[in-house]
Amino acid sequence: MVVAKHVMSDSGEKKSDFIREIITADLASGKHQSVITRFPPEPNGYLHIGHAKSICLNFGIAREFHSIGARCNLRFDDTNPSKEEQEYVESIQEDVKWLGFEWDELHFASDYFEFYYDCAVALINKGLAYVDEQTHEQMKESRGNINVAGTPSPWRDRPTEENLALFAGMRAGDFADGSMVLRAKIDMAAPNINLRDPVLYRIMRARHHNTGDAWCIYPMYDFAHPLEDALERVTHSLCTLEFENHRPLYDWVIEHCPVPSKPRQIEFARLNLTYTVMSKRKLLQLVRDRHVNGWDDPRLLTISGIRRRGYPAEAVRNFCTHIGITKFNGTTSMDLLEFEVRGHLNRESPRHMAVLEPLKLVLENVDADERIDAELQWHPERPEMGNRRISYGREIWIEAGDFMEDPPKKFYRLGPGRHVRLRGGDIIRCLSCDKNSEGEVVLLRCELLKGTAGADAPAGVECRAAIHWVDVATGRDAEVRLYDRLFLVEDPDGEEEGFASALNPDSLSVTKAKIEPALADVAAGYSCQFERTGYFIADGKDHQPGLAPVFNRTVGLKDSWAKKAGK
Ligand code: ATP
Ligand code: MG
């Protein structure tokens, strides 16, 4: 698999692309006075990061051409009644808004059922559509393949009157599901198989979330979609490359139906990312089979998952800008998305101290009731980054990994006899450690070099690192959820035994952490850096301020993906 390595620029400036060039040319030539785009999700699942690309494109264009009245609609492509649910309709609206966009009009393709029907009748009247009574298998058989032309249906030359009566009967419920379809009469020998008399309507007795039981015939996507675009006077209908071969049919429908405008379909490459699956169908499978905890599981690249994970909407938009819009399908490296997220969080996140793997440390020369000041100065000019005074007492928590009993020379943290600085505070020296019966270190005994806070190390003291810490007396407990990639391989879809066989069993690990007191009371959605550890967000669902703090790791401080992939 070829994974694109994009050249990054620091700013999120808009790069032009072939679609924006087409639009600019259409405006310059006077073909259009303004631009109307649409984002047309089918409400059969939650939106994912791939949809974000399409959202940023469609809504982004409307924003860029705002001064000439450009608009973008959110349209639910809900013409297929079998898989669609209200829950998805709501989540999709929430996700679009969270990404920072607002639609000009909200539409449901199912509101246009009467119009599609009228268009179908118009095609019949022009001799361009007929009711076919072949079975599904016969139709498939007679369509031919790339090398073999299709053969016409015995019903292809049915008289118009008969077609009209049968089609009315289909609508009225006179015929069984699957017993007949309405087909376009185009060309059974067309090199493009999509033009070999495609089905326009099928009989399907299924309750629709919007229209209930009003209809028992439903239009096919390729027929309905251009009509939806035309009704809404969409000028540029942007879709992914799979639809390139469908464009002649799109144009045929626009040409022959009584439509109020002539939209133009333009295709662009979909977003694929390493270490993930992207289609709603596969995401649904992960949710249903409980490989993840719901659609908003922070390990999923659904919009609701990444929101809960703590990816800022702006970082997602910048990511979409950087990957750009092209005509070539490829796979984008996951580290690129993380790069955007990390860069944004590095600039914006306040700093806090939390210890994920706590080891208790006692300062033997500090009295039990003594308090020692520390001064956190993350950014001299930006107090909102968390600059403040705090204090600690005789006992503190440090990261177990910041101590080694027998450290190598290059380990600059604690070991017997070694010095380290407590972030914002004094230098300490390790005296000894206590162990339990299993030989594990359970307590460090240290001494505080009083008066070294904010000052250089005294002569003869080697202190080359500062570690984060949490005061035992005031620190609080928190649940911290550490997420790793959901799949073990770059291309889970390429797995012979299916993508589920490549799931990472260690994609979630939960730890009991110690956090500084201020962190325990933050609201859900509070995003910050845990000093030296990574970026974290108070969970949107389970975090209870003051009572039961829960934090999700958004992303580590360094690019862990590239490193792991190299292994
Ligand atoms: P899925 O396979 O995930 O269900 P879809 O294309 O069937 O995706 P729709 O709800 O029909 O999903 O998509 C709405 C819009 O989002 C369409 O215009 C579609 O082209 C676009 N889109 C979907 N997936 C991607 C992707 N990975 N990259 C870019 N655009 C996408
Ligand atoms: Mg789909």
- Domain-by-domain residue ranges, the chain? 18-111+224-323, 113-219, 352-471, 478-566
Q: Is the CB of 331 under 6 A from ligand 1?
A: no
The catalytic residue among 264, 280, 317, 485 is: 280
As a 3-state breakdown, the chain gives helix, strand, coil percent values, each rounded to 5, of 30, 25, 45
Judge whether 358 and 513 are in contact, CB under 8 Å: yes
d(CA 151, CA 377): 78
Ligand closest to the CA atom of residue 266 = 1
d(CA 416, CA 404): 8
* Rounded (5°) CA angle 487-493-495: 80
Cβ count near 206 (within 10 Å): 14
Region of poorest pLDDT, from 4-8, 165-169, 419-423: 4-8
- Residue 458, phi then psi, degrees to nearest 5: -60, 160
Give me the pLDDT at residue 82, please. 72
- Residue 506, phi then psi, degrees to nearest 5: -105, 30
Q: What is the pLDDT of residues 169-225, one digit of tens each?
A: 999 999 999 999 999 999 999 999 999 999 999 999 999 988 999 999 999 999 999
Contacts with 269 (C-beta within 8 Å, 6 or more apart), sequence order:
240, 241, 325, 326, 327, 328, 329, 330
Q: Residue 510 forms beta bridges with which residues?
A: 481
d(CA 138, CA 256): 27
- CATH class of this structure's domain 478-566: mainly beta
d(CA 503, CA 514): 30
Mean pLDDT, rounded, for 142-169: 97
H-state helical runs in 32-159: 49-64, 86-98, 113-125, 136-142
Q: How confident is the model at residue 381 (pLDDT cuts 50, 70, 90)?
A: confident
DSSP state of 231: H
Q: How confident is the model at residue 13 (pLDDT cuts 50, 70, 90)?
A: low
Judge whether 415 and 428 are in contact, CB under 8 Å: no
Q: Is the CB of 55 under 6 A from ligand 1?
A: no
Q: How confident is the model at residue 519 (pLDDT cuts 50, 70, 90)?
A: very high
Best probe residue, ligand 1, of 19, 53, 54 (max atoms within 8 Å of C-beta) = 54
Give me the pLDDT at residue 380, please. 83
Residue 464 designated active-site? no
Q: Is the CB of 75 under 6 A from ligand 1?
A: no
Q: Is the CB of 43 under 6 A from ligand 1?
A: no
What is the third-level CATH fold of 352-471? Answer: Ribosomal Protein L25; Chain P (2.40.240)
Best probe residue, ligand 1, of 56, 240, 331 (max atoms within 8 Å of C-beta) = 240
Q: How confident is the model at residue 331 (pLDDT cuts 50, 70, 90)?
A: very high
Judge whether 128 and 183 are in contact, CB under 8 Å: no
Ligand 1 atom closest to residue 270's alpha carbon, by position in its atom list: 28
Please say if the pLDDT value at position 426 is more than 70.
yes
Specify the amino acid at residue 321.
Answer: T
Judge whether 563 and 545 are in contact, CB under 8 Å: no
* Spacing, Cα 80 to ligand 1 middle (Å): 15
Ligand 1 atom closest to residue 45's alpha carbon, by position in its atom list: 4
* Spacing, Cα 281 to ligand 1 middle (Å): 11
Give me the pLDDT at residue 7, please. 40
Distances (CA, A) of 333 to 268, 325, 381, 490: 18, 16, 35, 9
The candidate with the shortest Cα–Cα distance to 535, out of 328, 315, 349, 376, is 349
Q: How confident is the model at residue 559 (pLDDT cuts 50, 70, 90)?
A: low
Give me the pLDDT at residue 567, please. 41
User: Collapsing DSSP states into helix, strand and coil, what is residue 199?
Assistant: strand
d(CA 542, CA 556): 21
* Spacing, Cα 247 to ligand 2 middle (Å): 17
d(CA 502, CA 485): 11
* Spacing, Cα 42 to ligand 2 middle (Å): 6
> Which residue's CA is minimally distant from atom 9 of ligand 1?
41
Q: Kindly calculate the radius of gyration of the chain based on its CA atoms and give it in whole angstroms.
A: 31
d(CA 319, CA 323): 6
Q: Which two tokens stand for residue 300?
A: 């999923």
Judge whether 426 and 463 are in contact, CB under 8 Å: no
Distances (CA, A) of 6 to 3, 346, 461: 9, 21, 46
Intrachain domains 352-471 and 478-566 with the same fold = yes
Contacts with 143 (C-beta within 8 Å, 6 or more apart), sequence order:
150, 188, 193, 196
Distances (CA, A) of 543 to 206, 233, 270, 385, 523: 41, 45, 35, 22, 8
Q: How confident is the model at residue 131 (pLDDT cuts 50, 70, 90)?
A: very high
DSSP state of 448: E
d(CA 561, CA 25): 41
Contacts with 127 (C-beta within 8 Å, 6 or more apart), sequence order:
160, 185
Q: What is the pLDDT of residues 340-371, one digit of tens each?
A: 999 999 999 999 999 999 999 999 999 999 99
Q: Which two tokens stand for residue 486?
A: 């959901």
> Which residue's CA is minimally distant from atom 15 of ligand 1?
41
Q: Is the CB of 42 under 6 A from ligand 1?
A: yes
What is the third-level CATH fold of 113-219? Answer: Glutamyl-tRNA Synthetase; domain 3 (3.90.800)
Give me the pLDDT at residue 118, please. 98
* Spacing, Cα 273 to ligand 2 middle (Å): 18
DSSP state of 389: E
> Which residue's CA is minimally distant from atom 29 of ligand 1?
270
Q: Is the CB of 239 under 6 A from ligand 1?
A: yes
H-state helical runs in 201-257: 221-231, 247-256
d(CA 235, CA 296): 34
Q: Is the CB of 240 under 6 A from ligand 1?
A: yes
User: Collapsing DSSP states into helix, strand and coil, what is residue 67?
Assistant: helix
Q: Which two tokens stand for residue 137?
A: 């298998």
Determine whether domain 18-111+224-323 maps to CATH 3.40.50.620: yes
What is the secondary structure of 251-306 as a DSSP string?
Answer: HHHHHHS--S---EEEEEPPP-BTT----HHHHHHHHHTTSSSSTT-TTS-BHHHH
Q: Is the CB of 53 under 6 A from ligand 1?
A: yes
Q: What is the pLDDT of residues 81-113, one digit of tens each?
A: 877 688 999 999 999 999 999 999 999 999 999
Q: Give residues whose Cβ lies within 5 Å of ion ligand 2.
A: 42
Residue 42 designated active-site? yes
Ligand closest to the CA atom of residue 77 = 1
Q: Is the CB of 264 under 6 A from ligand 1?
A: no
Burial annotation 293-314 (CB, 10 A radius, 16+ → b, else e): eebbbbbbbbbbbbbbbbbbbe
Ligand 1 atom closest to residue 53's alpha carbon, by position in its atom list: 29
d(CA 532, CA 315): 21
Q: Is the CB of 280 under 6 A from ligand 1?
A: yes
User: Collapsing DSSP states into helix, strand and coil, what is residue 61?
Assistant: helix
The catalytic residue among 202, 270, 388, 476 is: 270
Q: Is the CB of 286 under 6 A from ligand 1?
A: no
User: Collapsing DSSP states into helix, strand and coil, what is residue 466?
Assistant: strand
